Chain A
Amino acid sequence: MCIHQRIGTTKSQPDEDRRMNAVEVHELYKEFHLRKGGLFSRRTRSVAAVNRLSFAVSEGQAVAFIGPNGAGKSTTIKMLSGIIRPSAGEARVLGMVPWKERSQLVRHIGTVFGQKSQLWLHLPPQDTFDLLAQVYELAKFDYLRQRDLLVERFGLASFMDTPVRKLSLGQRMRAEIAASLLHRPRLVFLDEPTIGLDVVARQELRDLIREWNREEGLTVFLTSHDTGDIESVAERVIVINHGRVVLDGDVAAVRQEVSDSRVVEVKFDHPFEWTDLPGVRVLSSSTYVLRLEVDRNVTGVETFIQKLLSAGSVADVSIEAPPLEEIIAHLYNKKESDPFAPTLKRR
């Protein structure tokens, strides 16, 4: 089955099921001017951090927005939350133009930046919660109801009165995310929410985000380098690199890609001769060892094995499914002319 087709069907939703778009981005472009040289020989160079980015996220969807460092993720999020203004292009978040209607928009979005806390370090989470209620001008009744709900669901009761500096990182991040949901945002931007957490705390947090997404219809816009976050939280993944969308598809499709390809490591008795085969990519090659990634959709197993046996005298073979990390690393590195992965939708 072709992933392109599958992505195609998920993208064109039936009319009766069409939900409002929480985020709409069209040809978004942002360039920065970098100054180079000394005092007298100053030159400026323009760098496109975000290069004609287009995508839409429907309300209630959980999207992972990923890419290597410097891909333009942060810049995009800053534009979508109204902090910076694009050089060109359009965007609407919850129907508002973020950089023009920031003060209105921020009342309906939540943000969590894993490395920057919004909690007051020397005070218990309760105090920050009370402050946020004032900052967002929440009605007392609404605030208390939402707070109690969050305290219960996020399991904060045991440390609501403990100064934040005495909390574990896991507890702190739970409080952090709960704090960002106090004003009932319709959309949250989560930037590396699980960074630094241990395995258990990480999974707890993912489950909570997913739960809130499913049960409260919260739109989640997640950036992370952790593929576990993406798999557990998001239903759709947008991969960007050099400010452009490299892949936009549902997580299941990317997983399918994983299950359709295999990493094969072959050890030969003697030096071997390998010639290219469609759908087979050489990951590494030395005198006796060859590591390949085989797409079973393109080249059948039988053809592949025959080709392998004709390459030399095979001493040992190991076959494994590549982890999602590898697929993503591959996507990051992919050049436009890469013949591999012809099934992935690219823009």
Chain B
Amino acid sequence: MKACKKFAAIAAISARSNLAYVSEALGRTLFLAVILYIFLRLWQATFAEMGATRLGGLTLAEMLWYLTITEAIMLSAPRLAQQVDEDVRTGALAVKLTRPISYPLYCLSASLGERFVRFAVNLAVGAAITTLFVGPPPSNAVSLVAFAVTLPLAFVLDATGNILIGIGAFWLEDTSGLTLIYSRLTMILGGMLIPIDLFPAWLKALVAWLPFSGIVYGPAHLFVHVESGDFVLTIVKQAAGTAVLGLVVWLVYARALDRISAHGG
């Protein structure tokens, strides 16, 4: 219980620290506005060309709202892997280890606080623009609840992956390549631009076994189109992904601590 309070406090202070940057975060959402406009046009053209009212089970309005959520999720990602990498290389990790708190859990909590603030800003701006383009969100109470449950789990899963990459700094000269690959895989295989339902069958089968869709597609799709099966599947995927990655982090981190002396002087 006390531990939970600790981590909540870290998330809260991290959120507050990031509120100092809200104006900057708002600046970033300009990019979001451009993306949304371009994709509105693209999807309009695609729907017209195909003569369809639904693609992958979604209407044009749902598609654009889906995109709003996926973009808000991806653009809210903190520089977590880079931060861990930096902590390892500069020796700042040593300072954090002298506190009665687990370093990976500290990173997780701090990143969640930061991410919720950034996500809220992105969502507010994105929602305003999308409402302007295609009207209010096609969500109902059930889909909003499903979304509210799966979004934090998505953030936890993503953070776990990022921490793992950051800890790689103990062995690798440079983790920025891995970070880039990971984020691109999350965008593409996570279904940021195109919902997974529109993927070819073989890719869909592959994606089903990877964690990325639990970060992006899962919460976003539930937001626009809720089905109980999808909801359960998303949560199972998120929980399993976090458990597996968390276990790897735990194992790798324990080994990393033995190497800590090699860094930071």
Residues on A facing B (Cβ under 8 Å): 30, 32, 49, 74-75, 78, 81-85, 102-103, 106-107, 109, 111, 113, 116, 118, 120-123, 127-128, 130-131, 134-137, 163
Contact = CB atoms under 8 A, between A and B. Distances in A.
A107 B98 contact: no
Given A123-B16, A134-B5, A111 B98 contact: yes
Dominant SS at the A interface? mixed
B91 A116 contact: yes
Top 10 nearest A-B pairs (CB, nearest first) are: A134-B9, A122-B20, A84-B261, A111-B98, A122-B17, A116-B95, A131-B13, A83-B97, A106-B100, A83-B94
A118 B98 CA distance: 11
Contact of B98 (A30, A81, A137): A81
B100 A111 contact: no
Interface string B171-191: 000000000000000000000
A107 B261 CA distance: 22
Contacts of A116: 90-92, 95
B201 interface: no
Given A116-B92, A116-B95, A135 B261 contact: no
A85 B10 CA distance: 28
B51 interface: no
Contacts of A109: 98
B20 A137 contact: no
Contacts, number: 71
Contacts of B95: 111, 113, 116, 118
A135 B16 contact: no
14 contacts: A83-B260, A85-B258, A109-B98, A111-B95, A116-B92, A121-B17, A122-B20, A127-B13, A128-B13, A134-B10, A135-B101, A136-B99, A136-B100, A137-B100
A136 B17 CA distance: 20
B6 to A, nearest CB: 5
A123 to B, nearest CB: 5
Nearest to A102: B97
B91 to A, nearest CB: 7
A81 B100 CA distance: 12
A93 to B, nearest CB: 12
A137 B2 contact: yes
A120 B100 contact: no
A130 B10 CA distance: 10
B17 A74 contact: no
A135 B99 contact: yes
A137 B90 CA distance: 28
Contacts of B21: 122
Contacts of B13: 120, 123, 127-128, 130-131
A120 B114 CA distance: 13
B10 A120 contact: no
Nearest to A134: B9
Contacts of A106: 97-100
A111 B91 CA distance: 14
A75 B261 CA distance: 7
Given A84-B260, A123-B20, A135 B91 contact: no
A102 B95 CA distance: 13
B9 A135 contact: yes
B229 interface: no
B141 interface: no
B262 interface: yes
A78 B17 contact: no
B265 interface: yes
Interface in B1-36: 2, 5-6, 9-10, 13, 16-17, 20-21
Contacts of A130: 9, 13
B20 A107 contact: no
Contacts of A137: 2, 6, 100
Interface string B35-61: 000000000000000000000000000
Nearest to B19: A122
Nearest to B5: A134
Given A49-B261, A75-B261, A122-B20, 10 more contacts: A74-B265, A84-B261, A85-B258, A103-B100, A111-B98, A123-B16, A123-B20, A127-B13, A128-B13, A131-B9
A90 to B, nearest CB: 18
B261 A30 contact: yes
B261 A120 contact: no
Interface string B100-129: 110000000000000000000000000000
Contacts of A127: 13, 16
Interface centre among B6, B9, B13, B100 (most CB of A within 10 A): B100
A101 B2 CA distance: 20
Interface centre among B91, B92, B97, B98 (most CB of A within 10 A): B98
Nearest to A81: B98
Nearest to B259: A84
Contacts of A118: 95
